[in-house]
Structure 1
Amino acid sequence: MIPRGQTAVSEAAQEIDKLMGLHPKGFDLSLDRITRLLDVLGNPHRKLPPVIHVAGTNGKGSVTAFCRALLEAGGYSAHVHTSPHLVNWHERYRIGVKGGRGQLVDDAVFAEAVRRVADANAGQHITVFEILTAVTFILFSEHPADAAIIEVGLGGRFDATNVISDPAVSVIMPISLDHQPYLGDRVELIAAEKAGIMKPGFPVVIGHQEYDAALDVLMSTAERLHCPSAVFGQDFMAHEEYGRLVYQDEFGLADLPLPRLPGRHQYANAAAAIRAVKAAGFTVTETMMEKAMSSVEWPGRLQRLSEGRLLSHAPAGAEIWIDGGHNPGAGEVIAEAMANFEERQSRPLFLIIGMINTKDPVGYFKAFAGLVEKVFCVPIRGSEAMIDPVILSNAAYDAGLVAEPMSTVGDALEAIKAVADPEALPPRILVGGSLYLVGDVLADNGTPPK
């Protein structure tokens, strides 16, 4: 069996597929197994370049992308670890290139690292995510780079990446409710888990926080651990002015182009990245910031599909956007972005949504009340945890939206084509609710991340 979303049977995919059959899926939050395994491997996590360690409910992928863009704009090489992948496992590991753009890991190198880690584990109880995290440390310790940007998988305190004891900087992005069975059902409990990546005496950057309860936990933890901290809205900030991004911190002010990533929420994400890269000890010039705002990329997050096979199923001239945000907090920022698009160009908005059963669909859908013509709910291919499209349609209905279940994204696009008003502007279509669904769309469209 090929792992979900994999478009071709690569050598590394085959090795990971073997592990998927041997070890439990999902999460089992603990540091004991990964610590034991890393010890057998010679503790590669202690041989990394300066680490920017990123946690948060929303925005951690975007701030990771901005950090990478900033460093590469300055000629630095930056390894990048993210999860989950959208189409190919290789997306989780970008190897830094001095003076250039980091490249997804070579398949043979990746496969060999997976084999080495699996052999070192010797069949002992472990999760696949922990093995793949050990692969991160193997790859990033054995390829020279100026920095390593490592995104937390789930939570923080007991996430497998949290064996890093001396980060150049820890970054905590916006916190809201998600993964409640693992992290708690109140934002302050979730904040405490995310704050677990802070290490005594090492710098911390706290991104924009919607909830005061979360911010209080993060600030008090940083104070208790004597971490030099920078807090969005207090020590650094960013806002739009005359179509430009104005960034300010204690070091000065910069007048920058708006980020290439759409949505006002990206202003705060860009600001957190700038402050984080500075806190990690790198010189950040205004030229670097300008270049980064124009070059940053983050597939599957408010990404517009401008080419590919699926476009033929949509109405002519339609805008198709994809975004893997899947919790109420993500729904709010995505809906705000769609509303801002609407201010500039009025188009009817349709949603094509698939979700898994650990999420809050009603909370997600409520953010779109009053914006959406209709929601089409679809299954997520190969997912045992998907919400049945009929049940998901009922959740959309409970949030005040008109909804209908469909069999595939292509069918939903054809349904939108059938109801689109030829006298009006072509519709705007958002496909999302799950990174897994977005990965399937990118694979089916023939436009995987590179």
Structure 2
Amino acid sequence: MIQIHQSEQRLERINSLLALLNNPHKRLSVIHIAGTNGKGSVSAYLDSILIQSGHKTGRFNSPHFLEPHDSIKINGFPISQEDFKKENEFITDINLKNNVGASSFEILTAIALYWFDKRQIDIAIIEVGMGGRLDATNVFDNVLLSIITLIGMDHEMFLGDNIESIAKEKAGIMKANGNVVVAPQIEKEAVDTLKKCADEIGCTKTILVESAKWEQEETGLALIKLLDHSIIRINIPLSGNIQLENSATAIIAIDLLRTTEKKFANITNEHIINGISSTKWPGRLQWIDAFKLSNVIKMPIASNLLIDGAHNPQAAKALRTFVNRQNKNKVHWIFAATKGKNIIKIFELLLKDEDSLIAVSFSKVEGMPWINCYDPNEIIEYTKNVKKNINTFVAEDIKEALIHAYSKYNKEGGLVVLCGSLYLIADLFKFFQIND
């Protein structure tokens, strides 16, 4: 049974707020993206390809990375702090004066859609916040494309405790007579549910994406089959096998878009190739240079730091697979997680007996007061439930966590990995900014 509070059963607040703003969402051409993992990467690939082809893009991602304003981008650049503050005050004032009662995420969504309309973009790439059917972004009567990325277990309290329930919630962004692109799925039940939902909703076309294939994995060169069965070679700049699925999903979405919408018929294979190769998406299987890290924490380091969000079991499995391929005898994990995450399952996938784990908290997330971090001592208790003899440590802050992890690395070798939450990774980047 999906447990959703009565106040969350409708989208009345966000629709009321948008109506007071003269319905900016009704004038936007939209690609709408839902899914458990890969939404951010797919949106970044799409954005990069569309920018390469000369289109003016708007992109809305959530959660934000460092600050709320960076979730709203035009042609890859965040709205300025000044403009964000002005629009936030304007829309918040309308919300209060009209007793709409919109949440902070609904206000953020309204800012994004209002700003995109105001800037007269060609296309908006909108990432769902959570779920799909009841998400504040699900306000469009029509979209150019609905995209469903990889589905797994996450947010079970809100979306359901099985793949079928979660897939149904994600499918809520599909539109009658619209086109749907479904990323390669691990769970057959997810594919079956999404196909059934698309049929019931009356979608015109449902494309099930085939994964790209490595041609030269060590250089990131992959092959992708387009809708006409021709093959193009792409260089994937983001690490991990999961990017085969994510890049293929974005490319097939673009391929479908250029064949169904005259406005985007100018997109060439060269635009796709250049767009993919120039994509940046921080915090996902990203290496932090050891020299830079040494300067910041003031100790000698000979190994790069690997960072990754890995905030649910499916993402943790992908991270462990990537880590295993680094051929290190042990891993020193620096870990934080949002309250409600299935830490036991994540640790079952991440941890090995020879590893060590440093638990830390992340700072309060601006504009998202409902986000809370697990107490590091609680994380250690979960760790012991999975691996009784693993070496653990509670760090007071991210600097102490890094120093402890690299002290162990300097003595024992291995690999240092920071993961468990994008909010922890945001703290790491802020720590660099302060201490550079």
Give the alignment's TM-score, normalised by structure 2. 0.88
Q: Which moved more, 1:56-65 or 1:238-247?
A: 238-247
Q: 1:204 and 1:407 mapped to 2: Cα distance?
A: 46
How far is the alpha carbon of 1:297 from its aligned partner? 0.7
State whether residues 52 and 276 of structure 1, in contact with CA within 8 Å, keep that contact through their aligned partners in structure 2.
no
Q: Which amino acid aligns with 1:435?
A: L
- Name which of 27, 32, 36 aligns with 1:53: 32
How far is the alpha carbon of 1:274 from its aligned partner? 0.6
What does 1:332-411 align with in structure 2 at a 5 Å threshold?
Answer: 332-342=317-327, 346=328, 348-370=330-352, 373-382=355-364, 385-400=372-387, 401-411=390-400
How far is the alpha carbon of 1:186 from its aligned partner? 0.8
How far is the alpha carbon of 1:116 from its aligned partner? 2.1
Q: Which amino acid aligns with 1:399?
A: V
Q: Give the number of aligned pairs.
A: 408
Flag as ranges the 4+ runs of structure 1 deviating above 4 A: 308-311
State whether residues 57 and 121 of structure 2, in contact with CA within 8 Å, keep that contact through their aligned partners in structure 1.
yes
Q: Which amino acid aligns with 1:444?
A: F
How far is the alpha carbon of 1:279 from its aligned partner? 2.4
State whether residues 335 and 360 of structure 2, in contact with CA within 8 Å, keep that contact through their aligned partners in structure 1.
yes
Report the counterpart of residue 159 of structure 2 in structure 1: 183
Distance 1:263 1:226, change over 3 A: same
How far is the alpha carbon of 1:257 from its aligned partner? 3.8
State whether residues 319 and 427 of structure 1, in contact with CA within 8 Å, keep that contact through their aligned partners in structure 2.
no
Report the counterpart of residue 240 of structure 1 in structure 2: 214
Give the alignment's TM-score, normalised by structure 1. 0.85
Q: 1:195 and 1:392 mapped to 2: Cα distance?
A: 33
Q: 2:347 and 2:82 mapped to 1: Cα distance?
A: 42
Distance 1:108 1:412, change over 3 A: closer
Q: 2:329 and 2:53 mapped to 1: Cα distance?
A: 39
How far is the alpha carbon of 1:403 from its aligned partner? 2.7
Q: Which amino acid aligns with 2:186?
A: E
Q: Which amino acid aligns with 1:299?
A: P
Is 1:438 aligned to residue 425 of structure 2? yes
How far is the alpha carbon of 1:255 from its aligned partner? 3.7
Q: 2:410 and 2:431 mapped to 1: Cα distance?
A: 27
Q: 1:95 and 1:385 mapped to 2: Cα distance?
A: 30
- Aligned residues: CA RMSD: 2.2
- Name which of 256, 268, 286 aligns with 1:285: 268
State whether residues 169 and 203 of structure 1, in contact with CA within 8 Å, keep that contact through their aligned partners in structure 2.
yes
Q: 1:447 and 1:270 mapped to 2: Cα distance?
A: 34
- Name which of 255, 275, 278 aligns with 2:252: 275
State whether residues 409 and 416 of structure 2, in contact with CA within 8 Å, keep that contact through their aligned partners in structure 1.
no
Distance 1:356 1:136, change over 3 A: same
Distance 1:89 1:45, change over 3 A: same
State whether residues 41 and 281 of structure 2, in contact with CA within 8 Å, keep that contact through their aligned partners in structure 1.
yes
Report the counterpart of residue 11 of structure 1 in structure 2: none
Distance 1:245 1:420, change over 3 A: same
State whether residues 301 and 323 of structure 1, in contact with CA within 8 Å, keep that contact through their aligned partners in structure 2.
yes
Distance 1:373 1:251, change over 3 A: same
State whether residues 28 and 127 of structure 1, in contact with CA within 8 Å, keep that contact through their aligned partners in structure 2.
no
3-state SS of paired residue (2:223): strand
Q: 2:39 and 2:177 mapped to 1: Cα distance?
A: 22
State whether residues 62 and 269 of structure 1, in contact with CA within 8 Å, keep that contact through their aligned partners in structure 2.
yes
Distance 1:272 1:390, change over 3 A: same
